[in-house]
Every structure is written in C-alpha cells, then in structure tokens.
Amino acid sequence: QITKLASMAKEYASRVAVDVANEAVQVHGGAGYVDDFDVERFYRDAKILQIYEGTTEIQKNIIGRELLGKGMS
C-alpha cells in the first residue's frame, strides 16, 4: 500500500511540476528558453524530477503491479 501511494505521489507531482513549468515557459515565449528568466531553470529542474525519482514509466509499472497484487513479498 505504501509503495503504491509513494509511486502515485511521485508520478503525479513530477507530471504537474513539468506541466506548470512548461506553461510558464510558454507564457514567456522564446525568452523562456534563455538564461535571463528563471522559468528556464524551473523547467529543467522539473523535468529532472521525472528522471531522478525514477522515470514516470517505472512509477506507472510499480503502481500497476501493486494494483494487480503482484507486489514483491
């Protein structure tokens, strides 16, 4: 149960962080991709969360395995 909830939280939080940062970059237009604005760094930091905390695909695999009752004993 804890494993499933942790994976769900990691996947959701990293997805929302990337979505929000991506919107911020879009609002800034082309300037959002340069070092002059913090949103460029925010997007990079959010995107690395999806990789550093375990890729989104791995988190989804863990969630699916736990939901199907195939968790490791």
23, 40, 53, 66: which one is catalytic?
53
Structural Rg of the chain based on CA atoms: 15
Distance CA 37, CA 23 (A): 14
> 55 vs 20, 38, 52, 68, CA distance in Å?
18, 24, 7, 20
Could you confirm whether 53 is annotated as catalytic?
yes
Which residue numbers are catalytic? 53
